[in-house]
Amino acid sequence: MTQFYLQEDKLYVSVDCIILGFKENAIHVLIIKRKFEPLKGERSLMGGFVREQEGLDETVSRVVFDYTGIKDVYMEQVGTYGDVGRDIVERVVSVVYYALIDMELFDEELEKKHNAEWVNINDVGQLILDHNLFLEDTLRLMKRRTATRPVGFNLLPEKFTLPQLQLLYEAIYQRSLDKRNFRKKLFEMNILEKLDEKEKLFSKKGAYYYRFNKEKYDRLFGRRILFFSLISSILFYNYVV
């Protein structure tokens, strides 16, 4: 190692991950009780230090798998947080990601193992250090992303009903949406595939299942502004009425 590197201060780089799921008609975040000092027993987001032979994406993938049992999830970097004194033990720079998971794939045994719980985003309360800021920034970014890209489908099972999809968007944007306008705009996007199968748990008539057609979406990828305008029109319509 050259003298140039040796003379510089050393610090730790960590990855913190906001793991989000959709259940009980609301967005939930996975919270743990910290198992080590300092702040043992306090409520925290998931995280880990970047290992010498890992990239950032590899680290967050490892963390998500350790806590959920799921691989290949949608994840995105939120930002980097490096205020002096943000960690009470060492100088730590944290790179924050969020991950969206299908709750049907979640390994509940890992929830017990890590003393974790799914908490409604409206009921989170106080977290350690600057983790509340991480969550606030994540939710703002997720709202922007779901307006420009169909990332919300990552929170649903492969097949879903239109009522489920509407409830998801209502949970993300924290407002009621007009059923007729919501469906009209969705069908205009032409990215849903109707299945010859119904969900009949809540009514005898049942609701048809749909599936997100990624191939159709990929053909529209260069027209992302169109996707943005359609989603925005749904939200604007419900705001003014």
Rounded-to-integer distance, Cα 174 and Cα 235, Å = 11
- What is the dotted CATH code of the domain comprising 156-240? 1.10.10.10
Amino acid at 230: L
Amino acid letter, residue 201: L
pLDDT of residue 241: 41
Question: Around 19, how many Cα atoms within 13 Å sit in the side-chain half-sphere?
Answer: 29
Domains of the chain by residue range: 3-134, 156-240
Residue 240: predicted pLDDT: 42
Can you tell me the distance from the alpha carbon of 128 to that of 39, in angstroms, rounded to the nearest whole number? 8
pLDDT per residue over 194-240, tens digit each? 999 998 776 667 899 999 998 888 887 655 555 555 566 666 555 44
- Which one, of 104, 105, 99, 107, lies nearest residue 16 by Cα? 99
- Nearest 5°: phi and psi at 12? -100, 150
Q: What is the CATH architecture assignment of 3-134?
A: Alpha-Beta Complex (3.90)
Ranges under pLDDT 70 in the chain: 1, 202-204, 221-241
